[in-house]
Chains A and B, each alone.
Chain A
């Protein structure tokens, strides 16, 4: 019974082809770049935060792909920690954004520029 529970994992996975790895890396790079462009060009604080999350998840995809490529678990472990940090950042971002909104009734990042120079 236990043996059947191990399912597909039971047979050693075949090494990943370099070409296949590249597909994942392209997706991850696209996500990262979309996040970066969005972060720079958008002014809504929540969208900006979503863009940083996008960049985090891009790194996550790359880590999982590399983990599969090298056939060790380090990358997957890393992703679990990345998820934790992303959650902590989400909590922080939401708290800050709510506070900001209560003060100025706006989420426009450009309205928050008391200091210049």
Chain B
């Protein structure tokens, strides 16, 4: 029961958790491309700021991934319930 719930939750977490950052990164890159086209001289600054911004946006997706991994592989409740059910 716990296994089913945690695996389903892990799947949903990863699914939802990658949609919003992808949309946000798309918008960020689109704006960066527009500003690069308008001012190619500042391309070093724009590129660096773009990468920093992308890393910050990506980190929320990484949080969702880490939570899913914890649910699947390092689930803190499995051992507890395993000992409960095997003790009966």
Indicate, yes or no, whether A interacts with B.
no
